[in-house]
Structure 1
Amino acid sequence: MRSLILAASLILAAPLAHAQDKDEAGARAAVNHYLAGHATGSAAEFGAAFHPKAMLYWNRDGSFAERTLADFIAAAATGKPAVDEAQRRRWIESLDVTGNAGMAKVVLDYPSVRFVDYLSLVKADGEWRIVNKIFQADRKEQ
């Protein structure tokens, strides 16, 4: 009887694990588009990463600041890599996905500043997209 219960639970768990793996891969793909946008300056990469209604929030000199996705892309999408791209590093520090929601912590380590981004992700209409970004920027001494 015990073996039967174990076998049944494994059979039921397999599709859930597969769905979780697919969702994590989809969320990771959205974050990788975001990282590629920074590396290449590509508006298309940022567009593939973010939901069109996404917003960005941060603290600027002690005050709350916000930016629309359109304003972010206009400032970040230069169409070419940064001059110091070879010295820049970016990585996904963590990714947590539950159902159709997820959170990624991303580090962007540049020569003059280190960003830590927290990206909220949602799976809507079958696609994972970043819907919210908050970040901390720490300037480095030159």
Structure 2
Amino acid sequence: MYRPIATIAAGLALLIAGPALAQANPEEAGVRKALEHYLAGHATGDPKAFRQSFHDEARLQWIREGQYATRSDDEYVAGASGKPPADEAQRKRSIESIDITGTAASAKIVLDYPTVVFTDYMHLLKTQDGWKIVNKTFHAQPKAKQ
């Protein structure tokens, strides 16, 4: 009696999960690679890692003290120290989501640092050189002092 029920349950699970599994985007690995270069840049301070992630004409935009701020990828990469942050062991980074349509993608990244949590929204395009971040907007949420 349990065997037919288990068989039916397994069949229903495949019917429900099958389409979702089949829809995994083959471009996700390329998008993830660009994002992982970005994360490696944060972890190591290596400007080359950042360079591998950003398009040459990428822009970064955010609100600082209520005012719109922007900088080029060159300005951003110039701030890379070339060495890991002193508190690297306390820093956590994760790719929260990736959404891809054709040659365009969006991703959400969370950088959880000891004193602040950054939420980065990346927009990427598939170029002749692969997937590249063309725009980064972010929010910095300071943590409460303990």
TM-score band, normalised by shorter chain = 0.7 to 0.9
Question: 1:36-82 CA distances to partner (integer Å, 9 max, x unpaired)?
Answer: 0000001000000000100000001111100111110111x111100
Residue 14 (structure 2) aligns with: none
- Structure 1-normalised TM-score? 0.84
Q: Which runs of 5+ in 1 are unaligned?
A: 1-15
What SS does structure 2 have at the residue aligned with 1:39? helix
Q: Percent identity?
A: 51
Correspondence for 1:100: 103
Whole-Å Cα distance in 2 between the matches of residues 139 and 48 of structure 1? 29
Query: Unmatched 5+ residue regions in structure 2?
Result: 1-21
Structure 2 residue aligned with 1:88, among 88, 91, 99? 91
**Aligned partners of 1:73 and 1:140: how far apart in 2?**
25
| 1:73 is the counterpart of 2:77 | yes
Of 54, 58, 75 in structure 2, the residue corresponding to residue 54 of structure 1 is: 58
Q: What residue in structure 2 maps to residue 8 of structure 1?
A: none
Q: 1:141: how far off?
A: 1.9
Q: Which amino acid is 2:28 matched to?
A: E
Runs of 4+ in 1 over 3 A off after TM superposition: none
- Aligned pair count reads 124
- Secondary structure, counterpart of 2:83 in structure 1: coil
1:34 Cα offset (Å):
0.3
Residue 28, structure 1, aligned to residue 32, structure 2: yes
User: 2 CA distance for matches of 1:74 and 1:35?
Assistant: 16
- Which has the higher Rg, Structure 1 or Structure 2? 2
In the TM superposition, residue 97 of structure 1 has moved relative to its aligned partner by 0.8
Superposed CA RMSD: 1.4
